[in-house]
Structure 1
Amino acid sequence: MKCKLFLLIPLLWSSFAPEIWSQEDEIKQVVIDLFEGMRNKDSTLMASCFVPEARLLGYNSDNDQIRITHGDDFVKRVMSMKDVYLDEQITSWDIKIDQGLASVWAGYFISVNGELSHCGVDAFQMSKMNDGWKITQIVDTRTKEGCILSDEQDIDQKLNYWHKAAATADEDVFFGAMTEEGIYIGTDASERWMRDELKEWSKKYFERESAWAFTPTSRNIKILPSGNAAYFDELLDTWMGPCRGSGVLEKIDHQWKIVHYHLAMAVPNDVIDAYLKLIKKE
């Protein structure tokens, strides 16, 4: 009987485990969508993460006060911050689930316009509704003490802000993120620019409300053993379809700067023949 019981437990666990992991992924995605909405000023995406009665409680350790905001007011506040780029990132996850209730304890840091602002813990309470998991309440702590980013986190938020600068036609921020000898390689075979050459060529684009809008969807970063150089690759959602960017950064005076960036269109393998025919026609 004992042997049969031990054999049965793994079978039961295997049948339930996929559902548990799937729910954790769904719960994480709600948080990711909320932060994506904050980055892109997408009120519809942000609002979709909350139940109508959701509220946010912020604890400030400096004055021991709690600020209470309703979900719709939070969305309006973010949307009103036109010239502010908010980039909140999760550093750790602890998720507990019981039936249709979930609790998420998540360490975070938030950068404002490319500079670290503060860090703390977000405590999310969620409920599973007919249309998926929704946030019912967020309680967060915030502090400026002990907020140290890893090099990977620092590079990640700086690259996000660099892309945002192009999307909002912020010439100073975009080119200021590159070294003077920085190189930018575009999708056309003729497009290899030094930083200042790219600046001259793109003037007409930065005179618009948006030069170009590339939204990162994933990114891999590797710090070299010296600690003063790094390389990365990323997938981007662009008007050309999915693209891949890759590049090299150097740490100069404690600041990461882009020394090389290469943008390439990601052509699916199953249409490569049609792509080659098109190129030959050109």
Structure 2
Amino acid sequence: MKHLIFIMIFVIFSGTCDANENQNSNELTNIKEVIATFEQSIINKDKDTFLSLFIDPEAPMYGIVSPKTMVLRRAGVAEINKRDNKNFVATRYWTTSAKKLIAMSSNNKGPVEERISNVKIQTDGNIASVFFDYEFYKNNKKVHWGQENMQMIQTNQGWKIASVVYSFTSEQ
């Protein structure tokens, strides 16, 4: 009798694990589709599709400048201050939004592309953290690169990006 109870418990929990694994697998696939659409909508300069990926078009996006790029940034700001008699300060980060980012990309006359690699996803099916490497190209030239982290939430309309934080390294 004890063996029968053990076998029944094992079968019940095994089925639960398989169901959770299948659900998690489906969620990972859906999240990967959002990332692929994100990438494609930048290439296509498709504002509507890009913005549909976010919970809000004004979703915050924070760019954090690498120490290497900060040296160049300080020099550029110093040059502007001297030339234009200004008093700007080079900051280590800036805030933008999904709406502003896609507008800037769409207004570029040449091709733009964000190449994404090494994607890592953690999710419980309700929230997700998506971490990856990226390279951003304008006019077929790599202009900056770094790592990006998207916080996503599951909504009635599927997975949506709630916020983005990315590092920014450039040689210009």
Preserved CA contact (<8 Å) 2:136 2:144: yes
Superposition pairs for residues 155-234 of structure 1, below 5 Å? none
| Higher relative strand content | 1
The letter of the residue matching 1:59 is: I
Query: Partner residue of 1:119?
Result: 145
**Pair 1:101 & 2:127 matched:** yes
Alignment size in residue pairs: 144
Q: For 1:67, give the aligned amino acid.
A: W
The equivalent of 1:57 in structure 2 is 62
- Residue of 7, 15, 21 corresponding to 2:19: 15
C-alpha change, 1:107 and 1:6, in structure 2 (3 Å) is farther
Q: CA deviation at 1:144?
A: 4.4
The corresponding residue for 1:229 is none
Q: CA deviation at 1:30?
A: 1.2
- Residue 136 of structure 2 corresponds to 110
The equivalent position to 1:47 in structure 2, one of 35, 38, 51, is 51
Pick the aligned partner of 1:67 from 73, 82, 94: 94
Unaligned runs of 5+ in 2: 71-90
Q: Output the amino acid matched with 2:131.
A: W
Structure 2: how far apart are the matches of 1:90 and 1:101? 21
After TM superposition, the structure 1 = structure 2 runs for residues 243-282 of structure 1, keeping only pairs within 5 Å, are none
Counterpart residue number, 1:203: none
SS at 1:21's partner residue?
Answer: helix
Q: SS in structure 2 opposite 1:105?
A: strand
Is the contact between residue 39 and residue 116 of structure 2 (CA under 8 Å) also seen in structure 1?
no
CA distance in 2, matches of 1:109, 1:55: 20
**Alpha-carbon separation, structure 1, partners of 2:44 and 2:117:** 20
The TM-score with structure 1 as length reference comes to: 0.47
Question: In the alignment, which residue of structure 1 is the partner of 2:35?
Answer: 31
Q: TM-score, normalised by structure 2?
A: 0.74
Alignment-derived partner of residue 223 in structure 1: none
Higher helix share: 2
Q: Match of 2:74?
A: none
Unmatched 5+ residue regions in structure 1?
146-282
1:18: how far off?
Answer: 1.5
Counterpart residue type for residue 112 of structure 2: L
Instruction: Output the CA distance in 2 between the equivalents of 1:112 and 1:74.
Output: 13
How far apart, CA to CA, are the structure 2 residues paired with 1:91 and 1:4? 44
Per-residue deviation at 1:76?
Answer: 1.7
Looking at structure 2, the residues matched to 69 and 91 of structure 1 have their Cα atoms a distance apart, in angstroms, of: 23
Q: Give the drift of 1:99.
A: 4.0
Deviation track 1:109-148 (CA, whole Å, cap 9, x = no partner) reads 2222223333211100011122111111010012248xxx
